A = this chain, B = another copy of it.
Amino acid sequence: MPVSATDTRRGAGEPRRRADAERNIAAIIDAATTCFIERPQVSMADVAKAAGVGRVTLYAHFSSREALLEAVLEHVIVHSAGIIEAEAPDQGAADEALRRLVKSSWRELDRHRRLFELAQRELGPQRLRAYHDKALAHVERLIGRGRKEGAFRTDLPLHWLVTTFYSLLHSAGEEVNARRLRKSDVAEVLTATLLPALSPP
């Protein structure tokens, strides 16, 4: 999380300035999330206006549109990872846990599809994938557990199986964007594709 230059100064006003900075950062990220989803080409000036801060304050925290987009992405993914975690992917039979994980992951991705489309274009697939590592920790842990329990295959690298999950999930999002797949069908189509791909041969 970027830190305002004022926060590094020592003095009596420091905690107050830090609280202001934190409030500003939160307001900027909230406003920017909505802006990027609704109008991908939104300008920094419009984000500042939507957040109710001046442009100087915006640039003090985020030196560029790219830095802001990265902060929004990180915020959204950490938040989604928390929601996915709450659906207990660590409990129950691995295949049932995978069904739940597909559903919750798709629900979270669907909320932010337009944002990921933008990030894919502006940051590239590798950086977008790197930001997802926090959310993919659940997938990796579940597939790893399923391998130990004999529910999932061990003849392919764990990392590749996680990539298969990530790749098909995001492809489903692109298919929905392109109106080739109905949103209501995604969870079922994904589960029906992933389970046999992950099962022992």
Contact = CB atoms under 8 A, between A and B. Distances in A.
A84 to B, nearest CB: 21
A196 interface: yes
Chain A facing B: main interface SS? helix
Contacts of A189: 156-157, 160
Interface residues on A, range: 20 to 34
Contacts of A194: 197
Interface in A148-199: 155-157, 159-160, 163-164, 166-168, 170-171, 174-175, 177-178, 180-181, 189, 192-194, 196-197, 199
B126 A178 contact: yes
A175 B158 CA distance: 13
A197 B193 contact: yes
A174 B167 CA distance: 11
B193 A201 contact: no
A124 interface: yes
Interface of A: 117, 120-121, 124-126, 129, 155-157, 159-160, 163-164, 166-168, 170-171, 174-175, 177-178, 180-181, 189, 192-194, 196-197, 199, 201
